Amino acid sequence: MKRTFAIGIGGAAGQGVATPGDIFAKIFSRRGLNLNAYNAYQSIIRGGHTFLTIRTGPDKVTNMGDRIDLFIPLNQDSMDRHMKLLGPGAACLYNADTVQPGPTAEGVQLCALPVAELADITRNKVAQNTIAIGAGLHMMGIGFQSLEDVLQEQFKKKGEAVVAENVSVARAGYDYAAAHFTAFPNPLPKTENRYAILSGNIAMAMGGAAAGVKFYCAYPMSPSTGVLHWMAAHARKAGIMVRQVEDEIGVVNMAIGAAQAGVRSMCATSGGGFALMSEGLGMSAMMETPVVVINCQRAGPSTGVPTKTEQGDLWQMLGAAFGDYPRVIAAPLDIGDCFKLIPEIFNIADRFQCPGLVLCDLLLSEGRLSVHPRDLDFNPPIDRGELITGNNGTASSAPTNGSYKRYKFTESGVSPRAVPGVPGHVHTVATDEHMEDGVLISDEFTNPIKRREMMEKRMRKVAGIEASVPPPELWGPRDAEVTLIGWGSTKGVIEEACEILNEQGISANQLQIRWLVPLHGDAILELLKDSRHTIIVENNYSGQFARYLRSETSFVANGHIRKYDGEPFMPHHIVEAVKEQLAAQTKLSVPMHEIMV
């Protein structure tokens, strides 16, 4: 079993769930610990209920895990909802003045904090939170100084008095715990590592900056808005033009306009906004103007559940825009990969002059993960492909005396792309079908032979795209009893499920798909040909990836584990489902989510 420790903090939106979360995260990361945080929340600004899970440990923490070790309910509602999650060895810190504990499992330590005695609650509205942080820290075996440092930073803008007040309130909680509660048996360890803590949205935004994105635009839509926020806040330092646009149709068209001028251009949205962008993607494909579009999936259809996760947009991405055209679709595997993927997909989009689509989801977009700074490489390879800007020194801008053909037939299907402003390369690009020189063959000069040639030119790029993307790999023992197949954000939780299964004597391996288009179907079939029992794990109702894999390869898995309640998988969901499927009880498991938010 992984050595991890998880804190659950529950409360109403606006009650200050985020602040203790941030404080714990900072303290953990400064101890050199990894962490993974997931906030289950609702689409409400004040009120409702949110439940934040922060899981930490010395090794990689890839998901929220199965167990809460320390539970901090900030109100009665939270206590009532989640107390049943606690098992032996866990503890619950609560404000004894306002919250009553309900039925409690054996071996759970109830830690009642007399908040009104410990702090002046008329002056400090979030005193209960600060006291709980102090108390919790003592129970985890962490010295008070680390909390004092973080509180200093947190409140220094509000002046010395506020800092002193918060430090003394936290100290009261810390000391009270020392006197009255039993500390956890294993103090949280310390390592020499230092991590950055970031969300997938921040990672994708920074990945864009690293890739050389110079134009970013968006319309706010959960759960993608974090990309816009990072871009807007860092635009001037990074030299990126960031615009908020009137709608997602405007977004994708504006992004393509900037791309046509020759800069790397990116935008992000969620499923609803992506639907509006669909026609624009066809334009990117037809004009052969590369653009990268991120879709942070949330639970659909329609407006769906804006604050909940799902992997339900795969077929929308596969079918986005009418007609056949080359496209690239990739799903980042974790938050670190959200960063790494962006420069990679830009290089492919640029080289093959086609849209690059990133299929992220709320779990990664809004989750938080510790990432080693070396994995945030701001100096990745940048390959702009055959681009003629007239200013980049490498590409020729010599006038061509009118012989330049924007859509010149080539073996690779890629035609050197001149951008406006370059002398001697004047041409018009169009959404209508066109000849090599850009002249339309849609209205007056329709021509089936040329239409066929141009379709084949564009589609020849598919072979090059395939060659530039590595096939997936099988992780774990080749002869495992069960092979779990997932895609994108489920990587971490499937990985841990495999570890647990292996510990329990069921050997398991994992095939995680990152590049959805191109899929490398033949390589996948080769990897799976010896698999003894295959199960596809995905966060949607209909098995969108299972259907896609079948359509591309005729491969049919032995079983499926699906979840479409808006919440991510926890490791035990997968472990238990695998066991019931190996026992031939079912071929389709739909685990029940136990945390009610």
Subset of residues 421 to 480 that bind another protein, contact rule: CB under 8 A: 421-432, 437-440, 443-445
Residues facing residue 113 across a β-bridge: 95
- Closest to another protein by CB, 391 vs 412, is 391
Which listed residue (63, 95, 222, 265) binds another protein by CB under 8 A?
Answer: 265
DSSP character for 338? H
Give yes or no for a contact between 305 and 557, defined as CB atoms under 8 angstroms apart: no
DSSP code at position 140: T
Site pattern 294..313 for another protein (x: CB under 8 A):
--------------------
- Cβ–Cβ under 8 Å, residues 107 and 87: yes
Place of tokens 């992984």: 2
Cα 106 to Cα 102: distance, rounded to the nearest angstrom: 13
**By the rule CB under 8 A, 245 interacts with another protein:** yes
**Cis before 223? omega within 30:** yes
Nearer to another protein, 202 or 557 (CB): 202
Which residues in 387-416 contact another protein (CB under 8 A)? 389, 391
CA-nearest of 224, 411, 252 to 321 is 252
Q: Which residue's CB is nearer to another protein, number 235 or number 590?
A: 235
- Near another protein by CB under 8 A: residue from 255, 314, 333, 536: 255
Identify which range of 210-218, 312-320, 355-363, 537-545 contacts another protein by CB under 8 A: 210-218
Residue from 13, 162, 261, 318 touching another protein (CB under 8 A): that is 261
Closer of 222 and 265 to another protein (Cβ):
265
The encoded tokens of residue 40 equal: 């289950």
Q: Which of 2, 229, 234, 593 binds another protein (CB under 8 A)?
A: 234
Residue 432 or 503: which CB sits closer to another protein?
Answer: 432
# of chain residues touching another protein (CB under 8 A): 75
Contact 564, 541 (CB under 8 A): yes
Report, in Å, the least distance between residue 211 CB and another protein.
8
In angstroms, rounded to a whole number, what is the distance separating the alpha carbons of residues 18 and 23? 9
d(C-alpha 467, C-alpha 477), whole Å: 27
Q: Is it true that the peptide bond before 518 is cis, omega within 30 degrees of 0? A: yes
Q: Find the binder of another protein among 58, 212, 471, 521 (CB under 8 A).
A: 212
Interactions with another protein, residue window 148-207 (CB under 8 A): 194-198, 202, 206
Interface with another protein in residues 22-61 (CB under 8 A): 29
Closer residue to another protein (CB): 439 or 525: 439
Token pair 């010599």 is found at 398
Distance CA 353, CA 348 (A): 8
Q: Which is nearer to another protein, 256 or 574 (CB)?
A: 256
Question: Among residues 298, 235, 287, 311, which one has the least CA distance to residue 266?
Answer: 235
CB 333 within 8 A of CB 491: yes
Q: Which is nearer to another protein, 298 or 384 (CB)?
A: 384
Which of residues 382 and 459 has its CB atom nearest to another protein in the complex? Answer: 382
Applying CB under 8 A, does 279 fall inside the site for another protein?
yes
**Residue from the set 263, 305, 463, 528 that interacts with another protein by CB under 8 A:** 263
CB of 290 to another protein, least distance (A): 13
> Structure tokens of 400?
């061509």
Point out which span in 70-78, 130-138, 250-258, 461-469 binds another protein (CB under 8 A): 250-258
Burial of 256 (0-12, 13-18, 19+ CB in 10 A): buried
Q: Where are the beta strands (DSSP E) in 240-367?
A: 241-244, 264-269, 292-297, 328-330, 356-361
Of residues 348-367, those binding another protein (CB under 8 A) = none
Among 111, 133, 221, 259, binds another protein (CB under 8 A): 259
Q: How far are the Cα atoms of 392, 510, 533, 558, 571 from residue 587, in angstroms, in the given order?
A: 57, 18, 11, 7, 18
Residue 104: strand, helix, or coil = coil
Cβ of residue 431: shortest distance to another protein, in angstroms? 6
Which is it for strands 91-95 and 109-113: parallel, antiparallel or unpaired?
parallel
* Residues 516 to 575 in contact with another protein, rule: CB under 8 A: none
Task: Give the nearest distance from C-beta 149 to another protein in angstroms.
Answer: 13
Name residue 94's beta-bridge partners: 112
**249 touching another protein, by CB under 8 A:** yes
State which of residues 262, 413, 486, 566 lies at the interface with another protein (CB under 8 A): 262
For another protein, give the closer residue by CB, 261 or 528. 261
Six-digit token string for 515: 């590049």
Q: Is the peptide bond before 420 cis (omega within 30 degrees of 0)?
A: no
Residue number with CB closer to another protein (75 or 347) = 347
